[in-house]
């Protein structure tokens, strides 16, 4: 019901109430109200109730809009509180919280992703380029994963992902898809130089019996094996 309909309904109720009360009073002996006075009562009721109803409906609409805006702001703040400001992925704490909720499910796999030679981007092209690389890698990871997967930035140039409902072969293919997506990135430095990006990825199955940190530690060991094995590759935990 829109504001105008609410006002019309409220005024109508007021007028009908006035008519009913006047009719009831007329039934009392000695209290008969001539019919011509009913029109006066209706006019007075409508004249008084209309501005009051307009004010109340307007106030109600303003309160509704304010409540809606407040709810939107609260949702926005909650979203931002869970996000890494540079990449838009989940923050470290938010990632562990969200992944912890699904850790007990079968078929979870964890990725630990580390950008290769990240220090060179900052040293050779400045921190602005390093930030641009982090942002681009975060976007590539998010786009390469499925809608039910989780991804977050753990800190520095290190990222993590939780793949849900995967077999070992599927998890390996999806990890490789993430690696290829990062390898395809071309980031322009402020100097105009185009930098290429690669990442080493460790892959480990989830273990519902042990804490999530245990699975990520195994993925971390696999990631270091990828680093020592030449970088820009996926290694699965033994």
Q: Per residue in 153-186, pLDDT tens?
A: 999 999 999 999 999 999 999 999 999 999 999 9
Catalytic residue among 157, 158, 176, 213: 157
**Average pLDDT, stretch 65-78?**
66
Please give the DSSP secondary-structure letter assigned to residue 173.
H
**Average pLDDT, stretch 120-130?**
91
Question: What pLDDT is stored for residue 54 in this prediction?
Answer: 59
Active site residue 157: yes
Question: What pLDDT is stored for residue 144 in this prediction?
Answer: 96
pLDDT grade, residue 44 (50/70/90)? low
C-alpha distances in Å from residue 10, one per residue of 44, 56, 65: 15, 10, 21
Rounded-to-integer distance, Cα 56 and Cα 67, Å: 16
**Average pLDDT, stretch 32-60?**
61
Question: What pLDDT is stored for residue 11 in this prediction?
Answer: 57
Q: What is the mean pLDDT of the chain?
A: 83
Task: Give the start-end residues of each E strand in 45-198.
Answer: 109-115, 150-155, 158-163, 186-188, 194-196
C-alpha distances in Å from residue 122, one per residue of 7, 128, 155, 218, 230: 64, 8, 16, 29, 21
Q: What pTM does this model have?
A: 0.70
Pairing of strands 109-115, 158-163: antiparallel
CA dihedral (209, 211, 215, 221) in degrees, to 10, reads -130
> Residue 113: is its pLDDT beyond 70?
yes
Residue 5 or 111, more confident: 111
Question: What pLDDT is stored for residue 61 in this prediction?
Answer: 72
The token duo for 180 is 């290829």
Question: What pLDDT is stored for residue 195 in this prediction?
Answer: 94
């Amino acid at each position: 019901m829109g504001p105008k309909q609410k006002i019309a309904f409220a005024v109508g109720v007021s007028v009908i109430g006035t008519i009913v009360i006047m009719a009831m009073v007329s039934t009392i002996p000695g209290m008969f109200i001539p019919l011509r006075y009913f029109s006066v009562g209706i006019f007075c009721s409508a004249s008084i109730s209309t501005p009051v109803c307009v004010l109340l409906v307007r106030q109600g609409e303003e309160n509704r809009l304010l409540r809606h805006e407040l709810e939107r702001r609260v949702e926005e703040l909650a979203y931002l509180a869970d996000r890494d400001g540079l990449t838009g992925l989940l923050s470290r704490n938010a990632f562990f919280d969200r992944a912890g909720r699904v850790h007990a499910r079968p078929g979870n796999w964890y990725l630990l992703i580390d950008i290769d030679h990240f220090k060179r981007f900052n040293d050779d092209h400045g921190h602005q380029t390093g930030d641009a690389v982090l942002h681009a890698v975060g976007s590539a990871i998010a786009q390469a994963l499925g809608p039910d997967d989780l991804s977050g930035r753990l800190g520095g140039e290190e990222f993590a992902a939780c793949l849900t409902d995967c077999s070992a072969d599927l998890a390996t293919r999806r990890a490789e898809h993430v690696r290829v997506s990062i390898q395809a990135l071309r980031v322009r430095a402020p100097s105009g130089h185009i930098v290429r990006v690669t990442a080493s990825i460790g892959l480990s199955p989830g273990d519902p019996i042990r804490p999530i940190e245990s699975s990520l530690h195994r993925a971390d060991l696999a990631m270091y094996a990828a680093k020592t094995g030449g970088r820009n590759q996926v290694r699965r935990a033994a």
